[in-house]
A and B are shown apart, each in its own frame.
Chain A
């Protein structure tokens, strides 16, 4: 809100310069965003404070409310409220006997009916006769201009001025254009149309409130008046409406219509019904002074039956306990009184009565403590730390492993990307997912920013491919990327096998939401996996084995065995893809991108992998214990075997382990050969074997029977020893 400083100083003028006032307001909760300068002409420049008013303080959406804050913040005196002097009166509105009534009968000057008191909490009107419409005096024009409002004519300017000073919006009708002299406040009909002051036709719904006269709706309540009954240059009779509306309803209407105004911005935060009469009193004085108006005695005042004020106990000791600093009781009382609260001494503190304009905001002791704290000054708070008795900080074992996993990938040269949770419905087709693929069961946003961001992701692959495409299109096609993020799948009809270890540390089961969340880890390698150098100008390019190497590094970092089993995914090369298995659980997939999918993202190709990270970490979470592999050395032997080429290496290693039963410590493939020397349809695997006993150094004779069993088992796979 914009507050010209000279206007503010009319009501509270501390002996501070602009910067000093800025500092005091900001540090007591009325933040000065910027200081603008309004050129009032003749070299007269007015400082204008642009204030951020928090939504709990609609009382500060008026200059006098801000003046009260400044009064409390500085101790400078506060002038009496500008509405203290009311030339009008309350009580029933006087009968009309003016020239407006042709036959001289006494009849009601105006009538108001409120049909929806749940949405209209008070409706007041006064009637002014003999109004002369004309320009406002210069001082009023300057006030409005400095506050960012365009001067129009004296009546409209009065309504704006009163709103800016009191915070209470008001609306002037030309009473002669109010058909029947009667206003009805009611819910709109579904689809009902109103032409607002800005000339637009607006379609309403049944939760919006209109004000209508004998000819239909004239205004959208609390938001904007209508063209038909607005004040004209020839207006002589003015009906001044000051009402109080249900804040949330006004907010809803204003959003639904995309129509925001100075009035709706105030009403939506919830004003006090008492403020209606502040505005009526002030407007009445100005109508008389500036428009030569004659005020009709009395006020129509409907839909409000008054509200009792609340008294709250503020315990002196509680202030100290919450803030961590003492504020003497007398000081507490001084602060609260400056803010227009009433205080009475009580045994352990103060009994505090809340002023009407703070009724919604201050309802409990905690709210009073905030008032005391902010005015007393948070600068005075000492700097302390919690006593922290018994509490201590630590990462959980799983959190440590999570960091270790990421660090291992970074250490292997991968860059972390952070992609979007939102994804496009078209992603699933671009990834060639089958219609019944569970990854198509993505949660749907009700109100997405766009169609392309309307689903929550069920795989990280989409965002990694987007990142790869972004970089590739900019000439960076050698990519080593990973991402860790949450995936979302609807619980509805999950696979029976997909029962998810709900007890795991970080598994976020469907709970109350029906949406399963888990963290996944994905890797994408593309192009050369190491930088080309003058010594090695053509480094290895990313393929299945490159990404499997990353998988193995991850497994080593977490001390888990991650195995690959031949398997396919619709978006992977069918001959170069695998399922990743850990301790019998399938945790994800890896492989080379299907060329059709690569083409979708304009990539030459990529090797990719995705793992369920939460489950992986749950498996990995175990402590290491010492094993003696130092006292007695291992016996190492090599063994080359020619096998039919369709026998997977994993099957060979499994057969070796199974046959050995004892003494075999490690077995691995260290060479693969296929070619004329081993014959068509065959390949040779070179295996390294390490034998070990816990209590002695093994000899070739010790290993011989084990080796014989291994050879026999390999024979069972169609293998024969080579060389």
Chain B
């Protein structure tokens, strides 16, 4: 009987080793270890044997069964793995086909993204962010910003005026159209162009304080911020502004980020430090800034601020000796106007319960700047034409944000 067990074991072992599929292994398991198979039957019959045989036969049969179980399991696992592998191999795809995109990602407009970047820089420097209205009064847009009553910027040629709601009549479909845009006073010299006859009124009115304008800069919020909050005040004001210019270098709407800091002792040197932090964050750590004296009605001293050119590292020329195309050989890029807040501006801020103790020009001083978002984005991203911003061509939008 022990010989028979040994023979079964040997035969099964051989057949298990030869089994070539998991189905075949399963068949062997049934044949050798199933309920009706010989080996289990022997085990069940051990009790019927002579007592002196029971031990040896039982032990041999058990060992054989355990051996076969292990062999079958091992062989099955081996075959499962190779069969799985074969199935997977059969399921081969063309990995060179394009991937399936997830829900596609969109983009912020480059102007939004740039404004957010600028906000973040100044948040880090301790400023808060304010927004302001776009239809403003002449008082906030000009008077309170120390523009003389006859300042040319107030002219209809330089500022959009909005009809007062009181004077509103349902639009007849024929707005007051203007003659061909003339050169602004800041541009173009030379003799008269002969344009504009029949528009004798153009440029005539320089604005009553409560006339309405589309704000020409974000600066009116300087006054509104000081009216609403006492010093110390550290704010930036991003927003859309308007001027009636439309040509290669002007669009009638554009965006600015205004900055205003007023405290007991804010100096022009502080302005330089603040704008250096801005310049290095936006244009790179190697950048430098320089302040050039300039003129604005609402700052004194006034400066224009240049950033050293990041294209030529401020050298003005490229590696091959050619003139830098970005800064035109200057080595510097003009990025914004700024200055110490003109003391007259404080005198336009009434002291109320909201901003007490108010803004006494002998007790507070500060700086302000206004930077053009379109210009900064143009410089930073090499955008060649202002009009691209407002066309919103997808092929443009995809490149930024």
Report which A residues bind B (CB closer than 8 A): 26-29, 31, 54-57, 196, 198, 200, 202-205, 207, 223-224, 247-248, 251-252, 254-262, 265, 268, 321-325, 364, 366-367, 369-370, 373-374, 378-379, 381-396, 399, 403, 406, 409-422, 425-426, 440-451, 453-456, 467, 470-471, 474, 476, 479-482, 484-486, 488, 490-492, 506, 508, 510-515, 517, 530-531, 533-536
Contact = CB atoms under 8 A, between A and B. Distances in A.
B105 A534 contact: no
Nearest to A411: B105
A374 B232 CA distance: 27
A413 B105 contact: yes
A97 to B, nearest CB: 39
A29 B292 CA distance: 6
Nearest to A370: B301
A514 B293 CA distance: 39
B4 interface: no
B77 interface: no
Contacts of B274: 385-386
Given A385-B273, A492-B168, A534-B98, A470 B303 contact: no
B150 A251 contact: yes
Contact of B398 (A382, A415, A508): A415
A255 B273 contact: no
B242 A410 contact: no
A454 B301 contact: no
23 contacts: A54-B295, A247-B150, A256-B200, A258-B194, A260-B189, A265-B185, A323-B268, A364-B300, A366-B340, A366-B342, A378-B291, A383-B273, A388-B234, A393-B123, A393-B125, A414-B106, A416-B106, A440-B171, A447-B178, A449-B244, A451-B175, A515-B135, A517-B134
B293 A445 contact: no
A480 B394 CA distance: 10
B375 interface: no
Contacts of B302: 370
Interface stretch (B21-29, B46-54, B84-92, B384-392): B384-392
Contacts of B111: 418
Q: Is the interface of A mostly helix, strand, loop or mixed?
A: loop
B131 A506 contact: yes
Contacts of B82: none
A198 B193 CA distance: 11
A671 to B, nearest CB: 23
Contacts of B272: 378, 381-384
Given A444-B163, A513-B136, 14 more contacts: A247-B150, A258-B197, A324-B267, A366-B342, A378-B303, A387-B265, A410-B108, A415-B109, A447-B244, A451-B175, A476-B394, A480-B106, A482-B106, A534-B98
Contacts of A56: 295
A25 B233 CA distance: 35
Interface stretch (B9-17, B36-44, B201-209, B349-357): B201-209
Contacts of A448: 160, 175-178
Instruction: Please list the 6 inter-chain residue pairs (A to B) with the smallest Cβ-Cβ separation, ordered nearest first.
Output: A324-B269, A324-B267, A248-B150, A258-B196, A29-B293, A259-B192
Contact of A258 (B128, B193, B342, B343): B193
A481 B60 CA distance: 80
Interface string B168-196: 10110111111101110100111111111
A345 B393 CA distance: 65
B306 to A, nearest CB: 10
A268 B270 contact: no
B283 interface: no
Contacts of B267: 321-325, 384
Contacts of A411: 105-106
B108 A393 contact: no
Nearest to A553: B103
Interface string B206-245: 1000101010000000000000000011100000101010
Contact of A55 (B188, B190, B273, B295): B295
Contacts of A536: 100
A444 B152 CA distance: 23
B122 interface: yes
A409 B109 CA distance: 12
A386 B312 CA distance: 31
B294 interface: yes
B145 to A, nearest CB: 15
Given A251-B185, A324-B270, A383-B272, A26 B292 contact: yes
A256 B342 contact: no
B175 A27 contact: no
B157 interface: yes
Given A386-B263, A417-B397, A421-B240, A395 B204 contact: no
Contact of B191 (A261, A474, A510): A261
Contact of A205 (B200, B234, B246, B300): B200
Nearest to A443: B162
B287 interface: no
Contact of A444 (B162, B181, B204): B162
Interface in B99-128: 100-101, 103-109, 111-112, 116, 119, 122-128
A385 B125 contact: yes
B19 interface: no
A425 B193 contact: no
Given A369-B301, A415-B106, A449-B181, A386 B295 contact: no
A365 B122 CA distance: 31
Contacts of A55: 152, 185, 295
Contacts of B124: 393
Given A410-B401, A450-B177, A455-B171, A515 B195 contact: no
A28 B389 contact: no
Given A445-B175, A513-B135, A419 B101 contact: no
A33 B374 CA distance: 22
B109 A416 contact: yes
A515 B162 contact: yes
Nearest to A369: B301
A322 B269 CA distance: 9
Contacts of B263: 386-389, 391
B71 to A, nearest CB: 45
Given A325-B269, A386-B234, A491 B165 contact: yes
Contacts of B293: 27-29, 370, 373-374, 378
Nearest to A478: B394
Interface string B327-355: 00000000000001011100000000000
